Structure formats: structure tokens, C-alpha cells
Amino acid sequence: MKFELVAKAFDEIEKTSKRVDMTTQLAALFEQTPAEDMKNVIYLLQGRLAPAYENTETGLGEKLVIQAIARATGYTKEDVEKKFKKTGDLGQVASEYLEKKTQQSLIRTTLSVKKVHENFLKLATLTGEGTQELKIKLLAELLNSSTPNEGKFVVRFALGALRLGVGDPTLMDALAHVHLNEFQKENTALVKEIDESTGKKSPEEKIRKIRMKLREQIEAKYNIYSDLGTLAQKLTEKGLKGLNNIDLEPGVPIRPTLAERLPLAKDIIEKLGKCIVESKYDGFRLQVHKKGKDVWIFSRNLENMSDMFPEIVDAAKKQLDCHTCIVEGEALAVNEETQEFFPFQITIQRKRKYDIDEKAKELPLKLFLFDVMSINDKNLMPLPFHERREKLKKLIMKGETIELTNGIITDSSREVDKFFNENVSGGLEGIVCKDLNAPYIAGARKFAWIKLKRSYKGELQDTVDLVIIGFYKGKGKRTEFGLGGLLAAVYDDKADLFKSITRIGTGFSEEMLADLHKLLSKHTLNHKPARVDSDVTPYAWVEPKFVIEVRADEITQSPMHTAGREQGESTGYALRFPRILKRRNDKEPEMATTVREIIKMYQNQKKVKVEEAR
Ligand code: AMP
């Protein structure tokens, strides 16, 4: 497949400001994509070369890219730098210089998707000092046969800044769109049901509903097999049948289940009845896969961390009584002398690329397992949680590193409170209460797990995770940083849109302002991004990609923001006195706090205030 087609689609997607159009454009691209290129097209759209868990880093430095552009276009490095200063986008610079080359008819458009992927893959595997020249050569080679539009995206991809704003849900919607006819033919009863419930008046609504059903099926597979490239390839090769034999596979991470929150033990018992209440450890969430002598460790956002935690790899080999299995838990550093848990600020020191063995000796981790998804290739996810926990207990053999989480079974809110207080005074973060009968719900936040953290009180003391959708120019003292504040959004998972909830101007350190400005400048757009819903217009729009943790005093109703605003109504929700705490690199934008959660937090906040006033 010619890369030209992909670059053309990228160009259209970039200009779109409506999510529906983005889906249609993606579907049209997929229709033209042959099965053998499908994987790579999906990865390119995700801004990657392989699924996230393969850790193939693509980001090249600006300096190197500047040299490659200069070499491919015949301009000097200084020319490129000067133009870059003006436009702020090296993709644009490459495109303009290539345009001049086109006018002199010096370009042959021969670039294929395969070639682009191949060169970037080579680039990604080259490491070390002496490889600089080779990297410039590989990139210049691509630019040499790029049209101006292709060049723009080759450069942006190289820098890790595509600015498309396409998310996995949108990709899945587009895949569903492509296979809609086949799905309708195979599911006539469902189509009839939707037909009847929708009435004849709204054909678009009917199509939307059917597409949603198919997307749910695709998503269910993606949740247990987090490689969208391979899924899309199978769909293209075999149609919907391609999904049938996708199942759990050691080495391919499962998208994690997420916890809901409630403010009081009483509410939790009301919701779950008799449940398992576990200690909530504050460390790294790890998914451990074992297959014979091979062990993989994945982080919460599915990166491969196997090299970072050698003692856990060792322990998995020795302490997990299975040939293959997939388990999940929280790892944290424990003071070996006192057996006390270290706070997260200490555990986080284990997240490093160098001096791993020394740090592992200094701060060994303990892994507290809380779930098991498969044993000896049997998928246990559909089993009720109490059965999985029994199996997990039997799976763990005695040893220094791996243990089962501490927990009790109860239906009394007084006991929940007591357990909570014991845990908090023991230095833990709180508790997680779990539905005894729930299956493992991959990739979703349902009321199977409910957390209660020590910071919950009447006011909004729990933090929220927001997605940056824009920024404001610095005024006064902040002029020098180029950034004075952010516009941030929560995620509406039903509509797959980011809806504005607050502007944030406090909590930033000077370093943070400078870093954010550098980062966000690479991802600005000159129109509202397609998946953003906001009436407030920032100084610059930013592709919804980065998550930040924010603390606020309260959630209020507000006419200004779109979060939680129902159709035809004028108020949504906003945060009062928001302040930024840090960036959450471990979260994808779709893992941010949702509109649903904000509404629930707003209601809880009111309820707790009433309780406290009593
Ligand atoms: P939060 O990050 O505040 O949404 O809380 C959910 C997180 O708590 C999970 O993603 C885990 O990383 C962590 N956690 C700690 N202990 C447990 C436990 N016993 N069960 C489930 N999750 C736990």
C-alpha cells in the first residue's frame, strides 16, 4: 500500500473538528488497506510501531530530525532551524521544503507503508553513540522519496507528535463501521430488536446502535488481547470470524479492571452486600505472565517492565505453582528490618532504566497478588471472584517476595470501617472492596471493585485525573515560560469525547511550566480537536493526549463547562480551586476520570455534607 494514501487520510483527520467525521475518514482508510498492511496502519495511527507492550520507542530528537530534513531537501541546517523557530512544527518545515523540491520535479513518490514502518523499526532498534549518522540516513532516505504531505507526517511521527488525536475507541468504531454489513447479516434478530426499539424514524440512530454492539464485541477482544493491530489484521483477513479464536495469551497483556469509588463504608455495603475487603497497597500495579521459564511483567498502562524488577521475575518462576499463568497485584518496597511498607515516594525509585540490580538489593519489592486471570491456559476471567481468589491462594507457594493480599469477608459496614482504620494506621492507602461474584472485567470501571481511600472526607480530597485540551499563554512573571495555565477535560466514555471541566492556573512549579510548554507545543492544533467538546477556547488547542492529576476543593455546577452537561441544558460541572499535582504518564487519556465519576462525586459530596451536618 502506498504511504501516500495514509498521509492523505492523516491530513484529512488532522483538519477534522468533529468526531463523527474522524470515524468516517478512518473507516474509508481501512476499506482501502490490504490485510498485510493493516497492522502497520493501525500502529502508525496510534503513533507507534508495535503494540505498547513491546516498548519500541519511536521518538527521535529535534536535532537529529533537523539534520535529516536538511540532508533530504538540500537546505542547510541553519535554514531548517530558522524556519522551525517561525512555525514551531518541523513537519510543516519539511513539507514546505519538499514542496519546493516537487516544483523542481525532484521527487519520485515510491514510499510504501511497509518501507516507512521498516525504516522506523530499524531506527528504533539502533542505540548508542555511533548510531547517530545511521539514524539520520534512514530518516533522510524516507524524506527523500516523500511528497510534501508524506514528509510532514514522516517528520511528525519521528518526533512522536502526530497531532491526530485519534484514540483507541475511535479506531474500534471505525473498524466496526467497516464490518457493519457482515455483522447485520449474521445478527438478524438483534438488528430486528434494535429496529423495533428505535422506530423507523431514525435510520442513523439505528446504525449507530448496531455499530455500538459490534464495537463492544471488538472491544471485548481488545480488552483481553491488547494488540489492536493484530485484531484489525484478523478482521481484514477473515471478517468477523477472525475474532473467534482470540483469547488470553501469556506475553500479551490484559487491559486492567478499574476501581470505582464511594465515600463511606455504609454505601459500599449497600452496593455490594457481603464482599471481600482487601488492603489497598500504594505501589505499582503489575500484571505478571508466566510461561515455563519466560516471565513478563506489565505496568498498569501495559508497558513491559520485565527488566525493571528482576526479583519479581525470579519469584514468579519459583513461587507460582503453574506452567503458564496470568496474575495481577501491587508491588511495593518493604523495609526489610521492620517489615513496614515504604511510602510510594520511596517505591517509585525502583522505576529506572539504570543501576537496576543495585536498587533491587537496596529496595526489594514485595508483590501482593489480588487476582488471577488464567492458569495453565484456562481462562478464569468468567469465574466469580471468590473462586478466583481461592485458586490464587493455592497458586502462591511460600517465599519471600509474592504474597496474597490481606483481606476479610464481611457484610458489616462497622467491620469495613474497622479494617479501613487498621490499614490506614498501618501505613496503607485504604481498602478495596470487591464483589464476591463478579468476573474479571477487563478494561472497565464497573462496581466490581470499590475503593475507599484515607483522604476521603466531606470535601473533594480525592484527586481527579484530567486530560489537557489546551493551554494559556503566560502573563506577567510567567511570560518567560510561554505557558500560564491549562484547560482540562474529563472523559465521556459513552460519546468518546473529552469535555471541559476546568482551567488550572495554580500548583505549577517553574520547571513544570517550562516542561509542559515544551511538551504541549509539539501537540498544538489550530482548531478544536475532533474529540474535544468545549465552549471555552484556550490560547492554543492541544491534542487530547496528556493526563494530569489535579486536586480541587469541590465540584460545582457551572454554565461554563461541558462536562456532564445534558443535551438542551445549560449547566455542566466545574472544579473549584483546582491545582495541578503532577503529570500522570502512566495513564492514557481514556483512563482519565470520567463524566460519570464526576457526577457521582458531586452527588457523594452533597451526601457526605448532609451526613456531617447531622
Ligand atoms: P486508584 O489508582 O486510586 O484508582 O486505585 C486503584 C488501584 O489500587 C489499582 O489500580 C491498584 O493499582 C491499586 N491496588 C492496591 N491494592 C489493591 C488491591 N488489594 N486490589 C486492587 N487494587 C489494588
pLDDT digit string (tens) for 506-539?
A: 899 989 999 999 999 999 998 999 999 999 999 9
Residue 422, pLDDT score: 87
Lowest mean per-residue pLDDT among 61-70, 443-452, 560-569:
443-452
Share of the chain above pLDDT 70, in %: 96
- The CA 84 to ligand 1 mean position distance, Å, reads 44
In the annotation, is 280 catalytic? yes
Buried b / exposed e over 364-395, threshold 16 CB at 10 Å, is bbbbbbbbbbbbeeeebbebebbebbebbeeb
- Sorted by sequence, the CB contacts under 8 Å of residue 373 that are 6+ apart come out as 248, 254, 326, 327, 328, 379, 380, 381, 440
Q: How far apart (Å, rounded) are the C-alpha atoms in residues 502 and 506?
A: 12
Residue 489 has pLDDT above 60, yes or no: yes
Q: Which CATH number does the domain 258-456 belong to among 3.30.470.30, 3.40.50.10470, 3.30.70.1140, 3.40.50.720?
A: 3.30.470.30
**179 contacts: CB under 8 Å, gap ≥ 6:** 214, 235, 239, 240
CA distance 475 to 473: 6
234, 280, 366, 453: the catalytic one is 280
pLDDT reading at 309 higher than 60: yes
| Residue 300 annotated as binding site | yes
3-state secondary structure 356-394: HHHHHHHCCEEEEEEEEEEECCEECCCCCHHHHHHHHHH
96 is in an annotated binding site: no
pLDDT in tens, 490-501: 999 989 999 999
432 Cβ closer than 6 Å to some ligand 1 atom: yes
Distance 519 CA to ligand 1 centre (A): 29
pLDDT at 546 (0 to 100): 97
- Is residue 272 pLDDT above 60, yes or no? yes
Ligand 1 pocket member 551 (CB < 6 A): no
pLDDT tens-digit readout, 292-302: 999 999 999 89
pLDDT confidence of residue 107 = 58
What radius of gyration, in Å, describes the C-alpha atoms of the chain? 25
Residue located nearest, by CA, to atom 12 of ligand 1: 285
Ligand 1 geometric centre to CA of 298 (Å): 15
Quick check: do 3-17+31-158 and 464-613 share a fold?
no
Q: Are 464 and 598 contacting, i.e. CB atoms less than 8 angstroms apart? A: yes
Q: Return the domain boundaries, the chain.
A: 3-17+31-158, 168-245, 258-456, 464-613
Ligand 1 pocket member 405 (CB < 6 A): yes
Residue with the smallest CA separation from ligand 1 atom 5 is: 259
Q: What average pLDDT score do residues 336-365 get?
A: 88
**Ligand 1 atom 7: the closest Cα is on which residue?**
259
Residue whose CA is at the smallest distance from ligand 1 atom 14: 280
pLDDT digits (tens, 9 = 90+) for 156-197: 999 998 889 899 999 999 999 999 999 999 999 999 898 888
Q: Give mean pLDDT, residues 104-112.
A: 73
- Above 50 in pLDDT, residue 456? no
Tell me, using a 6 A CB cutoff, whether residue 259 lines ligand 1.
Answer: yes
Atom number, ligand 1, closest to the C-alpha of residue 462: 3
Quick one: average pLDDT of 360-371? 95
Q: Which of 260, 330, 388 to mutate to test the pocket of ligand 1 (most atoms within 8 A of CB)?
A: 330
Yes or no: say if 552 and 593 are a contact pair by the CB < 8 Å rule: no
341 lines ligand 1 (CB under 6 A): no
Cα 501 from Cα 504, distance rounded (Å): 10
Q: In the beta sheet, which residues pair with residue 278?
A: 407, 432
423 CB near ligand 1 (under 6 Å): no
Q: How far is the CA of 283 from the centre of ligand 1 (A)?
A: 9
What's the whole-number average pLDDT of the chain? 91
Residue of 280, 297, 389, 588 with the most ligand 1 atoms within 8 Å of its CB, for mutation: 280
Answer yes or no: CATH 1.10.3260.10 is held by domain 3-17+31-158. yes
pTM flag (> 0.75)? yes
Does ligand 1 have an atom closer than 6 angstroms to the CB of 593?
no
* CA nearest to 175, candidates 240, 226, 118, 119: 240
Mean pLDDT of 410-416: 95
Lowest mean pLDDT among 194-203, 213-222, 294-303, 577-586: 194-203
The CA 532 to ligand 1 mean position distance, Å, reads 29
User: How far is ligand 1, taken at its centre, from the CA of residue 280, in Å?
Assistant: 6
Cβ(597) – ligand 1 distance below 6 Å: no
Instruction: For residue 455, name the pLDDT band (cuts at 50, 70, 90).
Output: low
What is the mean predicted confidence (pLDDT) over 325-337? Answer: 92
503 labelled ligand-binding: no
Q: Is the CB of 451 under 6 A from ligand 1?
A: yes
pLDDT attached to residue 205: 86
- Asked if 271 and 321 count as a contact pair (C-beta separation under 8 A), the reply is no
pLDDT on residue 335: 81
Give the Å distance between the CA of 584 and the centre of ligand 1.
15
CATH topology for 464-613? OB fold (Dihydrolipoamide Acetyltransferase, E2P) (2.40.50)
Alpha helices in 160-227 (DSSP H): 168-178, 180-186, 188-198, 203-224
